[in-house]
A and B are shown apart, each in its own frame.
Chain A
Amino acid sequence: MKLPGRKVKRTPAHQRQTLALWLQERALDALLDIPEDCASSAEPFRYDPIKFSPSPGEVFLLRPAIADAWGPVYVLILEPSDAGSWLVAPFGRYSVPAVPGEWRTGLSSEALKVLCLWNHRKVPARAFLAESASKVSSATMSRVKRAFLHVVKGDPLDAASSRRLGPPLVHPADPRYEYLAEERKRLDDHIPRVDSGVGEIENVPLIYLRASSAWLLAAEGRPAWPE
């Protein structure tokens, strides 16, 4: 049976190139086993009182909250949140953005190339390891803020910054779903939980029920959400 008439707007070439690069990196990653003996030997949840005050734009490493947490995880401080906690976005494992909620930073360090804005969380300051590892420039930080508001609220973003976002996620069998679940878990394993008796961090829902984050709903295989 022939389907009715339609126009098809092709996906831009740069998005196809980005996805091809990401798939290449992902395929290499799949060939490299996770070492069996990489778990830490420390008791989880050993949080010492912090002697520093984080500020927006600073980059911190997170302390593992469980023994086999897969790190290291660098996060960028976006803004102060509730008392004693900070809104952060983690940096990704790969060198190119996977989805429209990931943004290429333009920073040269391998560990800071991609910011996973979709995976933003509130983190208690005592989850940070030692003092800050780096600080991004104020110009970069203002670009990050605009990209963040675009990802979570759908605010407009200039063309140059838009090109730094990852390609759309539309197909239900796309391997990036699995990656998103991995990245959520990777961050979860670095944040103390309420039931651990240590942390006061909220339980972040897996799915963000915001219309502007439609691609995240797609990531969970959900085709639409009633308004």
Chain B
Amino acid sequence: MNDNFHGTTEDAWLEWRRVCAADLCCDATATMLRRFGASRFYAYMNKVETHSGRGMRRSLLYDVNNAWHLLETHAAIGKTRSGKRYKDWLFDRVGPEVESRIRAIEGGATLLMRDVVRQYLRRERGPAFMTSLETKYTEANASYSLDEWLPGQVNPLNDMAQREWQEIAWHHARDYYSRLESSERIILWARFNGFSLNDERIARWTKTSASLLYKKHLALIDDLGAWIKNKHPDESSAALLHMCRLMLDNLAELITENIYKEKRAVRFFKKL
């Protein structure tokens, strides 16, 4: 989005701040703001439409020219002056130098336009009421369906079935525990004990950055899911997820029992 468009002036922004909307500003200011809005709106729309392979449609031209009005409508939370506090927010972001002041205001307005475009596209593409449970969503290079993310609640049929679930989960957890690396055990321990993976102490313990810890955690959970699916290929998403959660409970016990054996564990616990 950094297109070096700095076609606005501070006087124009100040005039717009004073009055209700660009339509009530002098012609020069109104034209300047509409051009600015159109350039940002067009840049975002072009990006999305190019990504979707559809190209820009002629019908969009009206909305491109109307983009600044869309922003004013979107950002205001009421018809009174207080409902337009977002203008104060734009100006609160500015520093003392003129050039950087204009950049900061334009940057803030660009953030607002980003929200305008997202809502515009959401409305244009219509509701998702007809989305199939089988529709696939890609996350971290893996595909999931709504059915997998909202699989329903599993309840064992009776006490005996409950015990069987627990027993299988315990055996699986022991098998899976032997596959875990030290950093993976610490990641799970941290989660079990309420530590965020953003916690610097966990980063020092594992000698791994927070972003890598998050990636490892997601990869680990993905691997666990695949491992269970491989063991029970014909089971439903709900049953597999239930087993996954029972296994994590058991892994928590196993890891907690052995956490002091990890490298640098003593140093970590001394500093707690």
* Distance of A63 Cα from B93 Cα, bound (Å): 8
Q: Does B148 contact A (CB under 8 A)?
A: yes
CB pair B168 A3 closer than 8 Å: yes
Residue ID in chain B nearest A224 by CB atoms: B249
Since A7-B155, A8-B151, A132-B82 are in contact, a sample of 8 more A-B pairs with Cβ atoms closer than 8 Å, ordered by chain A residue number, is: A2-B234, A9-B152, A17-B131, A20-B129, A33-B47, A40-B94, A174-B149, A206-B198
Residue ID in chain B nearest A174 by CB atoms: B149
Q: Does A70 contact B (CB under 8 A)?
A: yes
Given the complex, which residues of B lie within 8 Å of A5, measured CB to CB? 156-158, 161
From the candidates A17, A167, A171, A221, name the one contacting B148 in the complex (CB within 8 A): A171
Q: Per-position contact with A for B210-239: 1 when CB-CB < 8 Å, else 0?
A: 000000011001101100000110111011
Interface centre among A20, A59, A175 (most CB of B within 10 A): A20
Pick the interface stretch among B61-69, B116-124, B177-185, B263-271.
Answer: B116-124
From the candidates B93, B118, B152, name the one contacting A64 in the complex (CB within 8 A): B93
Interface centre among A5, A21, A132, A181 (most CB of B within 10 A): A5
CB distance from B265 to the nearest CB of A (A): 20
Interface centre among A3, A8, A170, A221 (most CB of B within 10 A): A3
Given the complex, which residues of A lie within 8 Å of B110, measured CB to CB? 35, 37-38
Residue ID in chain B nearest A12 by CB atoms: B150
CB pair B48 A32 closer than 8 Å: yes
Q: Does A23 contact B (CB under 8 A)?
A: yes
* Distance of A145 Cα from B184 Cα, bound (Å): 40
CB pair B76 A109 closer than 8 Å: yes
Pairs A-B, 5 closest by C-beta atoms = A40-B93, A41-B100, A41-B95, A35-B1, A38-B107
16 A-B pairs in the complex with CB atoms less than 8 angstroms apart: A4-B160, A8-B154, A21-B127, A25-B118, A35-B111, A37-B2, A42-B94, A61-B88, A70-B111, A129-B85, A133-B83, A134-B77, A171-B151, A173-B225, A206-B198, A221-B221
Task: Give the bracket for the number of chain A residues in contact with chain B.
Answer: 35 or more
CB pair B241 A171 closer than 8 Å: yes
CB distance from A27 to the nearest CB of B (A): 8
* Distance of A6 Cα from B154 Cα, bound (Å): 6
Interface centre among A41, A59, A111, A205 (most CB of B within 10 A): A41
Taking Cβ atoms with an 8 Å cutoff, the residues of B that contact A are 1-2, 44, 47-48, 51, 74-78, 82-83, 85-86, 88-89, 92-95, 97, 100-101, 103-104, 106-108, 110-112, 114-115, 117-119, 121-122, 125, 127-129, 131, 133, 135, 137, 139-140, 142, 144, 146, 148-158, 160-161, 164-165, 168, 191-192, 194-196, 198, 217-218, 221-222, 224-225, 231-232, 234-236, 238-239, 241-245, 248-249, 252
From the candidates B107, B108, B245, name the one contacting A223 in the complex (CB within 8 A): B245
CB pair A133 B1 closer than 8 Å: no
* Distance of A61 Cα from B83 Cα, bound (Å): 10
Given the complex, which residues of B lie within 8 Å of A79, measured CB to CB? none
Given the complex, which residues of B lie within 8 Å of A4, measured CB to CB? 156-157, 160-161, 164-165, 168
CB distance from A90 to the nearest CB of B (A): 14
Residue ID in chain B nearest A222 by CB atoms: B191
In the complex where A20-B131, A37-B110, A43-B95 touch, is A221 in contact with B82 (Cβ < 8 A)?
no
CB pair B92 A6 closer than 8 Å: no
CB distance from B122 to the nearest CB of A (A): 5
CB pair B92 A42 closer than 8 Å: yes
